Amino acid sequence: MKETYSVFDIIGPRMIGPSSSHTAGAVRIAKVARHVAHYDVAEATFTLYESFAETGKGHGTDKALVAGILGMEPDDGRIRDAYEIAAEHGVLVDMIYTDEPSPSEQPNTVRIQTVSSDGTKNELIGVSVGGGKILITEINGLDVEVTGEYPTMVIRLQDKPGVIAELSTVLAEMDINIAYMKVFRHEKGEDDFVTVETDLKISDDLLKVIRERCASILNVITV
């Protein structure tokens, strides 16, 4: 890493203060929650843990989270007015500062629960790991490791031999380059979960084709 430092790692990034882990990181986590909710968030409840709960208010982490759920970028100058903008858009937000231990076992952690306009509920746990980088550790009760740096699909597959091969064949045939791929399952006989990070964003149309061609896919969340 140190060998590949760019001059822009030293002069930059251009960012909203006061700290990349409290502002940019928080915006990014909430943006993932917005993706998971298919850009439709009517209500959002944020539970802040450990250092997010301790110093988040003073760092404006709460505003950054609200900004992210509204779809703002980490360098948006309106982050400081996020509560007012949420109110204008009729998005209900609730901020809970808790003393309970972090579900990710890391500091700077937030749980985001969203309700969409049709009543659909989604939930994720995200960690701001420093320098504006994030790690999503759980989506809808499922343990994942998503950095959000690449377009990511979280795919639920039937647990049977050959499903991973089938999936990767379909992606290869569609000329989708896999940057990273991770397979896991909770218990034997339960469904497999695969996170696939790709070079290109997967559009809804593309996703439809993938689902049609890969019969073992039970469910897909795109991030």
∠ at Cα 77 (71, 78), nearest 5°?
Answer: 60
Residue with tokens 């003073």: 58
Which residue's CB is nearer to another protein, number 67 or number 167? 67
Shortest Å, Cβ 85 to another protein: 13
d(CA 127, CA 33): 12
Which residue's CB is nearer to another protein, number 62 or number 191? 62
∠ at Cα 27 (25, 33), nearest 5°?
Answer: 105
Shortest Å, Cβ 60 to another protein: 5
Which residue's CB is nearer to another protein, number 76 or number 197? 76
Shortest Å, Cβ 54 to another protein: 7
Which residue's CB is nearer to another protein, number 60 or number 126? 60
Which residue's CB is nearer to another protein, number 97 or number 185? 97
Shortest Å, Cβ 13 to another protein: 6
Site for another protein, rule CB under 8 A = 2-20, 23, 51, 53-60, 62-63, 75, 77, 79-80, 83, 95, 97
d(CA 153, CA 44): 22
Residue 146 tokens read as: 């998503």
Shortest Å, Cβ 122 to another protein: 23
Region for residue 71 given its phi and psi (left: phi exceeds 0; alpha: psi -120 to 50; beta: otherwise): left
Do 130 and 23 touch, CB atoms closer than 8 A? no
Which residue's CB is nearer to another protein, number 81 or number 166? 81
Shortest Å, Cβ 18 to another protein: 4
Residue with tokens 């559009």: 203
Residue 117 tokens read as: 């306009």
d(CA 124, CA 136): 7
